[in-house]
Structure 1
Amino acid sequence: METRHDGIFGDAPLGTDATHREDKYRSYDELKRVLNHFDTKGRPFSMSTVGTSNQGRGIDMVSVGRGNTDVLLVGHQHGNESTGSTSLLALLYYMASGKYEAYLDEVTVHVIPRANPDGAAIGFRGNVDPDAPDPNTSNGIFTTTYRGRGWDPNRYHFPDWTESRLYRNQPEEFPENPVPAARAVTEAVERVDPEWFLDIHGQSAKTTEDGEDVTHSLMWPVLGDKPIPENGLALSKRMCVQMYDHLSRFDQVVSRYPATAGYPGVAHKAYALQDRGSVIFESVEPQSVDQYRNRTLAALPSFMSLIGTTATGDLYDRDPERVEDIPHTR
Structure 2
Amino acid sequence: MFYALKRILSAVPIAFAVSVVCFSLVQLAPGDPLSLVLPTDATQEIINATKLRYGLDQPVPIQYLYWLGNVLQGDLGTSIASGRPVASEITTALFYTLGLAIVASLIGVTLGVTFGLIAGYNVGNPLDKIVSAIAITGVSIPHYWLGIVLVVIFAVNLDMLPAMGAGPGGDMSLLDRLYFMVLPAVTLAAMPTGIVTRSVRALVAETLSRPFIPALKAKGLTDAQIFWHVFKNAAPTALAVIGVQLGYLTAGSILVETVFSWPGTGLMLNTAILQRDIPLLQGTILVLALFFVALNLVVDLLQPLFDPRIRRS
Q: Higher helix fraction: Structure 1 or Structure 2?
A: 2
Query: Which structure carries more relative contact order (alpha carbon 8 Å, separation 6+)?
Result: 2
Q: Higher strand fraction: Structure 1 or Structure 2?
A: 1
Bigger radius of gyration: 2
Normalising by structure 1, report the TM-score: 0.20
